[in-house]
Amino acid sequence: MTLSQVISKINWRLILIHLVAYWFLYEAAVFFSFLYDDHFFFSFIKLHPGTTWLTKTGNNEISNDDYIRLANDSRYLLELPAISLLVAPILSTATCFLRRWFWLNALITFILAISLFILWKQFKIELTPSTILGFILNKPGYLFKDTFWFLIANGSFSLLIALYLFFSKSIARFITMFKLAVLYPSR
């Protein structure tokens, strides 16, 4: 297969849509990871509204017991979303094989997703999809604010969107629409 044939099989719509699906799957995993110790999470947020979940403030307002519990809980907050970044390429590759799309699209999507994830974490970039669209992701859970169901609703909403983007027939038609227009141009 020549380079021009490989480049012609790369589908940028597929890559972009699967990147968005990766992100929704990652966000679902973040919401579900808070379920490990949700009572402590909600009480911590109420008691210490100015602090973040993974860091200790400089004025030592967090007790040592709470800090140890935060350190233990943060392990789950880091592992589950990382696992979602390993599950997403499996779903992407399965979709590519199911729809008979070129497998290199799934590989390019995975490399781009990992690169973006590393950039956001390494350089602590605050302009992420979560900050831009966070209000949309949190809307389903506002009915259950500060409860266990807040996390379930938001995580399920993100997971359903990710699965829809991976496996929907209408999304598949949108992805292949350009290819069909090239193969069968109107006269």
> What digits encode the pLDDT tens for the residues 41-77?
666 666 555 555 445 445 456 666 767 777 777 777 7
Indicate the pLDDT class of residue 186, thresholds 50, 70 and 90: low
Instruction: Please check whether residue 14 is in contact with residue 171, taking contact to mean a CB–CB distance below 8 angstroms.
Output: no
Q: Which residue has the higher pLDDT, 94 or 151?
A: 94
Instruction: Look at the chain and count its residues.
Output: 187
Across 94-119, average pLDDT: 90
Across 9-31, average pLDDT: 90
- pLDDT score recorded for residue 17: 94
CA–CA gap between residue 22 and residue 165 (Å, rounded): 9
CA–CA gap between residue 56 and residue 33 (Å, rounded): 20
* Upper half-sphere CA count for residue 64 (Cβ side, 13 Å): 0
Say if residue 102 is exposed, middle or buried (CB neighbours under 10 Å; 0-12, 13-18, 19+).
middle
Across 157-163, average pLDDT: 93
| pLDDT above 70 as % of the chain | 73
Residue with tokens 């992701």: 137
